[in-house]
């Protein structure tokens, strides 16, 4: 003991104390936030822009594919959290139409394999069937490879009878293109005499969107620090609450998810009034 007093005491550490203390405080904070979240009305529809897979990998000095794989694993966790809270509609931005054109063939092949595996797993996941989750994909799906579209069709067919929850994957999706296609469909109906221009209202346009029949998102979450919606649900997001976090998608924690929900609950939604 005297030797420790002679100068070595300052160098003696008890491994893990600070880490354990941090975890305990974090768990207590998460429990408190969850209690608050469950005490107030929840959003009916949450949408997520899952950003930061590649930057997560680069920061960890890993190949980009490792980030994408970790991102897929994270999605399964977040879907669990959504079901636990009872949020009825959950939508993710998996692949934008711009990304499909800008990514290398090698990276796209990896992403397509992840989508196929992920949709196949979801279609057979007991949690999906126990919670009666309808799985659907929206976007310019006809431009995707045949094997991806087959996986989409399988997941849709296996869950088509469910209506307790709806999980929507936006694949090869672009908000501007979605609106352009809606305008084309309406123009065709007008040219055929099926519709008068004066009959076109907001609801008429909404019926032509990929998301027809879905409620607009109450809350849109974007990870990785970017503060924009990047052509995601442009029409539908008119009155959505936005939540931006610096956390990369693969590191998006349950605590951060609860914070996003709590932030939404504390806001006063005016819908233009």
Kindly name the residue from 6, 51, 172, 216 that is annotated as catalytic.
Answer: 51
Strand arrangement, sheet containing 241-244: 133-138, 165-173, 89-96, 45-49, 219-222, 241-244
Q: Vertex 118, ends 114 and 122: CA angle to 5°?
A: 175
13-39 exposure pattern, b = at least 16 Cβ within 10 A, e = fewer: eeeeeeeeeeeeeeeeebeebbeebee
β pairing state of 89-96 and 45-49: parallel
Structure tokens at 262: 């709590």
- Among 6, 40, 80, 99, the active-site one is 99
What is the number of residues in the chain?
Answer: 273
Q: What is the Cα–Cα distance from 164 to 104, expressed in whole angstroms? A: 38
Any catalytic annotation for residue 231? no
Q: How far apart are CA 112 and CA 121, in angstroms?
A: 14
Burial 242-252 (b: 16+ CB within 10 A, else e): bbbbebbbbbb
Whether 103 contacts 58, CB under 8 Å: no
99 included as an active-site residue: yes
For residue 150, give every residue at least 6 positions away whose Cβ sits within 8 Å of its Cβ, in sequence order, or none.
Answer: none
Catalytic residue numbers, as ranges: 51, 99
């Amino acid at each position: 003991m005297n030797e420790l007093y002679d100068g070595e005491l300052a160098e003696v550490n008890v491994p893990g104390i600070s880490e354990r203390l941090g975890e305990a405080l974090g768990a207590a904070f998460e429990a408190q936030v969850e209690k608050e979240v469950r005490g107030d009305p929840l959003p009916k529809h949450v949408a997520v822009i899952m950003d930061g897979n590649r930057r997560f990998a680069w920061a960890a000095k890993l190949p980009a594919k490792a980030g994408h794989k970790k991102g897929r694993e994270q999605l399964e966790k977040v879907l669990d959290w959504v079901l636990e809270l009872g949020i009825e509609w959950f939508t993710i931005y998996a692949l934008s139409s711009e990304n499909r054109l800008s990514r290398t063939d090698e990276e796209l092949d990896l992403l397509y394999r992840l989508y196929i595996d992920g949709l196949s797993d979801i279609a057979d996941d007991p949690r999906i069937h126990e919670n009666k989750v309808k799985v659907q994909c929206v976007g310019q799906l006809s431009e995707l490879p045949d094997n991806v579209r087959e996986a989409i069709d399988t997941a849709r067919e296996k869950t088509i009878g469910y209506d307790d929850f709806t999980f929507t994957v936006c694949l090869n999706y672009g908000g501007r293109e979605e609106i352009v296609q809606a305008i084309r469909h309406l123009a065709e109906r007008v040219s055929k005499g099926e519709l008068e221009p004066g009959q076109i209202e907001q609801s008429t346009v909404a019926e032509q969107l990929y998301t027809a029949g879905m409620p607009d998102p109450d809350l849109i979450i974007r990870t990785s620090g970017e503060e924009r919606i990047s052509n995601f649900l442009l029409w539908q997001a008119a009155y959505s609450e936005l939540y931006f976090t610096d956390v990369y998608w693969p590191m998006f924690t349950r605590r951060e998810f609860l914070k996003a929900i709590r932030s939404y609950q504390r806001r006063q939604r005016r819908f233009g009034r």
